[in-house]
Amino acid sequence: MKKDMRADFLLINAGQLVTVAGNSDHPKRGDELSEIAVITDGAVAARDGVIAAVGTTSELQDRVELEEDAVVIDAQGKVVLPGLVDPHTHVVFAGSREHELEMKIQGMPYLEILARGGGILDTVRSTREASCEDLVRTAAKYLDEMLAQGTTTAEAKSGYGLTLKDELKMLEAIRVLQETQPVDLVPTFLGAHAIPEEYKDDPDGFVDLVIQEMLPAISPLGLARFCDVFCEEGVFSVEQTRRILLEAKRLGFELKIHADEMVTLGGAELAAELGATSADHLMMISDQGIEMLAASETIAVLLPATTFCVMGERYAPARKMIEKGAAVALSSDFNPGSSPVNSLQIVMGIACRQLKMTPAEVISAVTINAAHAIGCASSVGSIEEGKRADLVIFDAQDYRYLMYRFGTNLVDKVVKSGRIVVGG
């Protein structure tokens, strides 16, 4: 056979090449979540960081002519997945909150810690004191850990500044990180993450500040693609969230909502009503919220490591959502309080055990559906021609082993844009 393709990257002998192909235009729902398009003895060729061909090892060896300095990986029968996508993180922050552990163990609810001026507000105090360089340095370390565990694309939120100056500092840190480290970042403005202490007697005044000062100042700078609000009892009401997000939409932001996390407020319904890209958390989503999400394009991003870490009683009703047809994705929610977990492999293990999602559903939820949740499904989230050559090689022979061996980092190598960035 004539070699019809030149490549500068070739991976061969993947025991299971889990491509998750076929859903770049629309997210997976229902039974589609279980279809992960595995190629036995698979191979991937890439050129200039973009996937050029996907097939079996013998097919690609016949077709591909390698360039002189090409990277060749023999996967030796291991499992290969698309680079994992983490669609909800608060990776930029200062300080840490291990002192909340005893409070949580004694039963103090997350929202009470916040109402007493701790929780998010604790991190706001340390983040305000930090410089942009400090934030970049710490977040780069966390992103390194994430990359080493298979995450190649992540969303990153502001939300620990809560003044225009400090929110801009966080977004600028995300911009610098995007240019200086390998994990691709999608920035989100979360100015409405908590009512800051200086506005505790005037929460509507803070909502006005977000709408009248922060959004118009941030929008023209191109520092954030999404706008998000923590819609929660004692934080931002459904009405306040609607006001902020309508203005954000008018200014060109795409929308996200921290919805129905601790209390059933109707955040999921609002996300569907506003055409939000995602509604996240959803531990306490109502039946109507599930129906509305299922009938919408909004992705339901579930964060089971958060439920685990806040010692919540109820996990998001993932099975019901999948049965009703909602498009489900998974994320770490990495942050200093409710989820100091930045390993998607740990999230995957919890999702099987607590959300009762099957290994195949979990893989769809951390790849293509996660990519849809941050508007990146045309370039990442599956191993398909034309997409970025982001791959993870796991030290496993069967994809189910990843979730079975919960708690161990099974990454053998990570490939980012056709170059080995971990395990070279």
Q: Footprint of ligand NIG on this chain (CB under 6 A)?
A: 90, 119-120, 123, 230, 258, 261, 306, 333, 335-339
What token pair was written down for 195? 């009512």
Cβ distance to ligand NIG smaller for residue 317 or 336: 336
Cβ distance to ligand NIG smaller for residue 87 or 337: 337
Of 150, 124, 122, whose CA–CA distance to 135 is shortest? 124
Closest CB 411 distance from ligand NIG, rounded Å:
25
Cβ distance to ligand NIG smaller for residue 230 or 308: 230
Beta bridge partners of 66: 7
Cβ distance to ligand NIG smaller for residue 260 or 261: 261
Closest CB 314 distance from ligand NIG, rounded Å:
15
**DSSP, res 7:** E
Cβ distance to ligand NIG smaller for residue 52 or 231: 231
Place of tokens 């191109």: 222
Report the C-alpha gap between 157 and 174 in whole angstroms.
Answer: 8
Q: Does 193 count as an annotated binding residue?
A: yes
CA angle 330, 256, 97 (to 5 degrees): 65
Closest CB 8 distance from ligand NIG, rounded Å:
40
Closest CB 331 distance from ligand NIG, rounded Å:
9
Q: How many residues does the chain have?
A: 424
Q: Does 191 count as an annotated binding residue?
A: no
CB-CB contact of 146 with 185 (8 Å): no
CB-CB contact of 211 with 218 (8 Å): no
Q: Does 119 count as an annotated binding residue?
A: no
Q: Does 281 count as an annotated binding residue?
A: no
Q: Give me the half-sphere count of Cα atoms (radius 13 Å) on the Cβ side of residue 340.
A: 13
Q: Does 160 count as an annotated binding residue?
A: yes
**What values do phi and psi take at 275, rounded to 5?**
70, 35
The total of other beta-carbon atoms located within 10 Å of residue 287's CB is 11
Q: Does 388 count as an annotated binding residue?
A: no
Closest CB 186 distance from ligand NIG, rounded Å:
16
Closest CB 281 distance from ligand NIG, rounded Å:
6
Of 353, 378, 386, 351, whose CA–CA distance to 366 is shortest? 351
Q: Does 331 count as an annotated binding residue?
A: no
Closest-approach residue to ligand NIG (CB): 337
**What values do phi and psi take at 303, rounded to 5?**
-130, 70
Q: What residues form the annotated binding site for 4-imidazolone-5-propanoate?
A: 97, 160, 193, 261, 338
Q: What residues form the annotated binding site for Fe(3+)?
A: 88, 90, 258, 333
Q: What residues form the annotated binding site?
A: 88, 90, 97, 160, 193, 258, 261, 333, 335, 337-338
Q: What residues form the annotated binding site for N-formimidoyl-L-glutamate?
A: 160, 335, 337
